[in-house]
Amino acid sequence: MSLEVVILAAGQGTRMRSSLPKVLHPIAGKPMAGHVVDTVRSLEASGIYLVVGHGADRVRKALAADDLTFVEQAEQLGTGHAVTQVLPKLSDNSQVLILYGDVPLIKAETLKELLNYATETSLGLLTVNLDNPHGYGRIIRDEKQRVTAIVEQKDASAEELSIQEINTGILAVTSKQLQRWLPKLSNNNAQGEYYLTDIIALAYQEGTLIETVQPGTTTEVEGVNNRLQLAELERVYQLEQVEKLMALGVSLADPARVDVRGQLNTARDVFIDVGCIFEGQVELAEGVEVGPYCVLKNARLGPGVKLAAFSHLEGVALEGDNQVGPFARLRPGTHLEQGAKIGNFVETKKTHVGQGAKINHLSYIGDAEVGANANIGAGTITCNYDGVNKHFTKIGAGAFIGSNSSLVAPVEIGTGATVGAGSTITRKVDNQALAVTRAKQLQKANWPKPVKKQEN
């Protein structure tokens, strides 16, 4: 049988106290429901159905993808009612996995085990034992320990409330079973809702085996109802990421103070200091050192790169043995060749920096090419924007740009050329030439200093 997945994501999440739909609140920079969808994709489902309700348009916009089908639940009348909205879209002979958009850390391995029991004669139910089961539906078993029903907290007797095995809401069934059971659901309960959990009793009455599976950890099935729970699952997720990194040979100054919000690929002997954030696709080659409080987004750092504190890199490639920072900002399109160096309070954008070149202090170099072994003095800027268009600056190999110079693009500085400190360059400087554009220095002897006027 093929696999189809239903993800329930219609709830408002009033306890989040937010205008943002609950399932769009992020874990590691990605909407909670996005984590669930990514896990499902690893199962190679033939159909993924996301049931939306509150903030449906925002959810569609945030999660839109070719392999997702959105189904609207106009009225939130319970989980059973939500799944019923998808029923017409399901194939006649498939396994159906039912998940929740606010339970973001469920593992594919757990779901695969659960799917083993989605047959015509059985179903798979994910349960977990909690020391404090308050608020959850309890698993009811008979004298042979067979599951017979699920009783919700508000409908449970005192004896039933003492049960510690609870329903996670996650189950694996067949489409044929849903077609039989969903039309039989009733809303005759304390909530006045159609509970999906009531199909368990229907299955038992029919003689269908109800097989239970438990997750590896309780955090896999923890849902998010408020900001505290969101923060708690964020830390769980981040700890999982850093454990994987350390197993690959990464040293972390403090595993509790690193955030991975994308895909971080690392080689051996990488060191990451405290407070660092990794977003998008980031690659750290062997021997890379990332100093404290750095932010890397869509960046590739080659072997031996040393990144000093408080540096921000986005959309960049560093070939290796580069030194960057502290307080450097490398913007999209920056490419550093082997051994190039970027110092403190330097900003670059769409700039190719040649092998061994240096931009050491307080400079802005944008839309530029810096040749091998060129040296850019402190306070240098490329004036690349005329208010409408960007223009290109080319600095030749071995060139020396004196401090506090302005290179007005489009302009070219030749190989081995020198620009005197404080110059404003508007025309090409030839190879090996010296260009200086300073105003003449005036000096007046015995200049009388201004005196502060006496107040009356």
Active site residues: 361
**Beta strands at 289-290 and 306-307: parallel, antiparallel or unpaired:** parallel
Residues 174/94, Cβ–Cβ less than 8 Å: yes
Give, rounded to a whole angstrom, the gap between the first and last alpha carbons of the chain: 98
Interatomic CA distance for residues 24 and 58, integer angstroms:
9
Please report where in the chains the tokens 């690929």 appear, as a residue: 265
Residues 137/197, Cβ–Cβ less than 8 Å: yes
Cα separation values, 136 from 97, 169, 197, 252, Å: 20, 10, 11, 38
Interatomic CA distance for residues 343 and 359, integer angstroms:
6
Q: Read off the DSSP letter of residue 89.
A: G
Angle, helix 32-41 to helix 56-63, in steps of 10 degrees: 50
Q: Is 142 helix (H, G, I), strand (E, B) or coil?
A: coil
Report, in this order, helix, strand and coil percent for the chain, each rounded to 5.
20, 35, 45
Helices (DSSP H) in 50-174: which residue ranges?
Answer: 56-63, 79-86, 108-115, 158-161
Interatomic CA distance for residues 135 and 169, integer angstroms:
13
Residues 355/372, Cβ–Cβ less than 8 Å: yes
Assess whether the previous peptide bond of 326 is cis (omega < 30° from 0). yes
Q: Which residue, 287, 343, 293, is CA-closest to 320?
A: 287
Q: 140 has which bridge partners?
A: 149
